Structure 1
Amino acid sequence: MEDLKRMAVFVAVVEQAGMSAAARRLDMTPSAVSQHIRQLEREAGVTLLHRSTRQLALTDAGQRFYVQCAQMCEAAARARTELDAERQEPGGELRMSAPAGFAPHAAPALGSWLARNPALRLRLLMDDATIDLIQARVDLALRFGTLADSSWVARHLGRSATLLCASPKWLAAWQAERGKPPLHPSELAQAPWLDLARKDHARVDLNWRHGPSGESFSLQALPQMVSNHRATVQQFCEAGLGVAVLSAHDVAASLREGRLVRLLPQWDMGQLDIWAVTPQRDAQPAKVRQAIEVLRAYFARLEGVQADGMP
């Protein structure tokens, strides 16, 4: 690396036609500039510059060496320009990972932004498994829920309520048998549960807090159906095959259109936090900074999501 610096100093000396002028341009002392040139000549074993009290002149070897060094400096300047442009305007490839459940939201959230930036390419990796951002070369990951401790940087985008849902068909069958809807979580201990799970034989751990009274209740159940895909769990629920804990932003339309109903509405099941995760905080390129803001704006207007001003 020191050789590259000396080459850049040599180019500046030639282009500024003197040690003092080069020193001013490089914010160095003339003696430091002269020392770099002498070291270059010492290591090369040839004279690069003929020096006099009034002028400098390139030797034949110095002329050939200057051409190559100047090309190196030009390439470095172009590289710096590209980096600066990347900081200002989104371009290149953005590698983003997100859970499979984000699939219905991907185009509404990112499509218009992508269309406005033709120099940008989006590679969207949809997977419910948590991947290593560094190993997968991911610039930005969308995560839901509680984050594991790591050196990665997380930015809060909002939160979505956790709701207990069933289909009108399932609820009608329940009421026909019992004469009323479920009013307490304990009544659902033997219900057919549908769950998002990534482990074999995973049980459902459920926790409620009753708003009016403050009562807490926990329940553990063995689900009748599990899937590693959120949309599949929701489809089974809408088909009347059981009850499921789902996120408000995923089921807002289904609740509004009557495909699902919320059970135990006075019992709170908590919130699901939404995060944008990056491998580093500093020197984020424009494509990452803008993607985070685009996602933040999308979730802020998405039905079922609450923005709360967290950092």
Structure 2
Amino acid sequence: MQDIKPLLVFAAVLEHGSMNAAAAALGMTPSAVSQHITRLESLHGVKLLNRSTRHLAPTDAGRALAVHCGRLRRTLADTQTALDNLKTEAAGEVHLAITSGIADTQMFQTALKRLQREYPNIRPVLHVGDRLLDLQQGGIDIAIRGGEHSLDNPDLIARHLVAWPWQICAAPDYLAQHPPITRPEQLHGHRWLHFLPVRITLRHGTESYLLDIADSMPCNQLATVRSLTAGGVGLSLQLEGEVRQYVRQGRLAVVLPEWSLPVVNLYAVTSYRVQSAKTEAALRVLQEAFAAASSETTE
């Protein structure tokens, strides 16, 4: 069998962008990395990299080979993980990327408490933010993401958790200070807050209405939009599962509940590879917690 190390070194050079960075990641010297690349080029009679003092870029042949070298690295990593799973219990850090809206939900908190109770050797590490993180570069094991774009990257696996419809929400005190809202057209006369611009279609029977709010207060955090809405600042779009407790407690009210809004699918997203025992355990707990909460709303 031919030595695969030059192929792995070539993949590392492209991943890290330079010989020095690849050498540091692999625990080698830059000279050794360069020798592996030269050997690979000489052995197959093809130039793989264009080098200069300040820039390194793959040739067309290098880009074609990079796809297979990257796959080889992932396969070896998966093999090692599979071997580790045969002898290792679910233990260690699991990095979870969640939005600020998800962090406050009862189902996520239930999953987190259950994970700590059933797997005391697993240490959850939370990365809370409302922008998408790169799972492969950011060291994230599981990301909870919403929307169809969760499925766009072919290098990721998206496991469905739950489907939540959008709702228009406001504080009861805010609504009490204004005339009753009985038609979508009346929504334009109110103050709005948003994380993403409000442009959404409402449906009621055969009737539909495109709600496009131009004058709305932007906010870069989902949880803050919800808190300000509950504080009576204005109306906002909220996912049903994220405001369920707020509605039950009377802190928020659903506006035009007879009108239906689009549904957002939530997924637990992982890299397309064999998962460690600890990640598999966390995935199972998350899926079961969200499924249990979903069945409660349908009963």
Range into which the TM-score falls when normalised by the shorter chain? 0.5 to 0.7
For the Cα contact (< 8 Å) 1:208–1:269, is it kept in 2? yes
For the Cα contact (< 8 Å) 2:193–2:218, is it kept in 1? yes
Instruction: Give 1:135 shift.
Output: 0.5
Check if 1:283 corresponds to 2:274. yes
CA distance in 2, matches of 1:306, 1:286: 31
Output aligned runs, 1:44-193, within 5 Å: 82-86=84-88, 89-105=89-105, 106-148=108-150, 149-151=152-154, 152-175=156-179, 181-193=180-192
CA distance in 2, matches of 1:115, 1:233: 32
Q: Please list the CA deviations of residues 113-143 of structure 1 after superposition, one character each: whole Å capped at 9, or x if unmatched.
A: 2233233222211111101110102111111
For the Cα contact (< 8 Å) 2:82–2:274, is it kept in 1? no
Instruction: Give 1:302 shift.
Output: 2.5
CA distance in 2, matches of 1:254, 1:303: 17
Matched letter for residue 170 of structure 2: A
User: Cα RMSD between the aligned structures?
Assistant: 2.6
CA distance in 1, matches of 2:95, 2:214: 37
Q: Please list the CA deviations of residues 250-309 of structure 1 after superposition, one character each: whole Å capped at 9, or x if unmatched.
A: 2112212211111111111121211011111x52222222212211111123369869xx
Instruction: Give 1:166 shift.
Output: 1.1
1:208 aligned to which of 173, 196, 202: 202
Inter-CA distance 256–83: structure 2 relative to 1 (3 Å threshold): closer
- Name which of structure 1's ranges 149-158 and 188-197 shifts more when overlaid on structure 2: 188-197
Poorly superposed stretches of 4+, deviation over 3 Å: 78-83, 303-307
Number of paired residues? 219
- Report the equivalent of 1:260: 252
For the Cα contact (< 8 Å) 2:170–2:229, is it kept in 1? yes
Inter-CA distance 225–103: structure 2 relative to 1 (3 Å threshold): same
For the Cα contact (< 8 Å) 1:154–1:276, is it kept in 2? yes
Q: Please list the CA deviations of residues 56-79 of structure 1 after superposition, one character each: whole Å capped at 9, or x if unmatched.
A: xxxxxxxxxxxxxxxxxxxxxx99
CA distance in 1, matches of 2:143, 2:194: 23
Inter-CA distance 305–154: structure 2 relative to 1 (3 Å threshold): farther
CA distance in 2, matches of 1:257, 1:80: 46
CA distance in 1, matches of 2:295, 2:81: 44
- Name which of structure 1's ranges 128-137 and 91-100 shifts more when overlaid on structure 2: 91-100
- Report the equivalent of 1:297: 288
Structure 1 runs not aligned, ≥5 long: 4-77, 176-180, 198-202
Q: Please list the CA deviations of residues 3-36 of structure 1 after superposition, one character each: whole Å capped at 9, or x if unmatched.
A: 9xxxxxxxxxxxxxxxxxxxxxxxxxxxxxxxxx
Could you say which structure has the larger radius of gyration? 1
For the Cα contact (< 8 Å) 1:166–1:242, is it kept in 2? yes
What secondary structure sits across from 1:90 in the alignment?
Answer: coil
TM-score between the two structures when normalised by the length of structure 1 = 0.64
Inter-CA distance 255–118: structure 2 relative to 1 (3 Å threshold): closer
- Name which of structure 1's ranges 260-269 and 105-114 shifts more when overlaid on structure 2: 105-114
CA distance in 2, matches of 1:132, 1:207: 31
For the Cα contact (< 8 Å) 2:158–2:270, is it kept in 1? yes
